[in-house]
Amino acid sequence: MWPWGHAAVGYLLWSAFVNRADDRPPTGPEVAFVGLGTQFPDLVDKPLAWTFGILPSGRSLAHSLLTAALVISIVYLVTRRREEPVAVAFGIGYVSHSVADSFSPLLTGEYDKLTYLLWPVLPSPVYESESLASNVDGLALSGFVLVELLLVAFALVRWRFDGMPGIAEFVSRLRAVR
C-alpha cells in the first residue's frame, strides 16, 4: 500500500473510533499522531532495507506486530500525561499500516508474504522489487491503487465532516512564526 492509502485507512479508523467511543471528532494532535503511526513502519523499514541493507526486507522490523507492541508502549509511556489519547491514535495508525499491507497477499492467496507480521519469529518475505525506484516505476492504475484513491477520497470527505482537525493548529503556528 502506498503512503496515502495508509494515511487514509488510519484516519478513517481513528475518526470512526473517537466518533463512536467519545462522540466527538478527532483533534489536531490526534490526527498528527495517527498520521505518524500510519507511516512509521515504512519510514523505518524501507530505508534500513533498501538504502542501507541492514534489514532483510522493506517489510520486516517495524512491520512486525511484535515491534509494534514495543513501539506503541514506548509512545504511551512518553505521552501518558497528555489529556488526549495520542498514543492510542498512534497505535491505531501503526497497526492499521501492518494490517493494510496484508490485504493484497490475503486477496491473492500469497500467504507466505504475511510472515512479516511476526518477524523475526518468522522469516521476512522475499519481494521481487526492493527499491523505491522500482516500486515507483511499477506504479500503475491497478485495482489496488484505485481502491487506495477511493479510500483517500472517503478520508478527505470524513476529515472535512470532522471539521478539518489539525488545520486550526497549523494556521495558528504559522501566524505565530510571523
Instruction: Locate the domains of the chain by residue range.
Output: 3-177
Q: Which is it for the CA torsion 60, 114, 150, 163, positive or negative? A: negative
Q: Give the count of beta carbons closer than 10 Å to the beta carbon of residue 120.
A: 13
166 pLDDT higher than 70: yes
Q: CA 34 to CA 41: how far, in whole Å?
A: 13
The model's confidence at residue 150, banded by pLDDT at 50, 70 and 90, is: very high
At 64 the pLDDT is 98
So what's the pLDDT on residue 21? Answer: 97
Dump pLDDT digits (tens) for 8-35.
999 999 999 999 999 999 999 999 999 9
Report whether 40 contacts 97 (CB < 8 A).
Answer: yes
* Confidence (pLDDT) at 133: 58
pLDDT tens digit sequence for 31-62: 999 999 999 999 999 999 999 999 999 999 99
Question: Helices in 47-142 by DSSP H: which ranges?
Answer: 65-79, 86-101, 103-108, 132-137
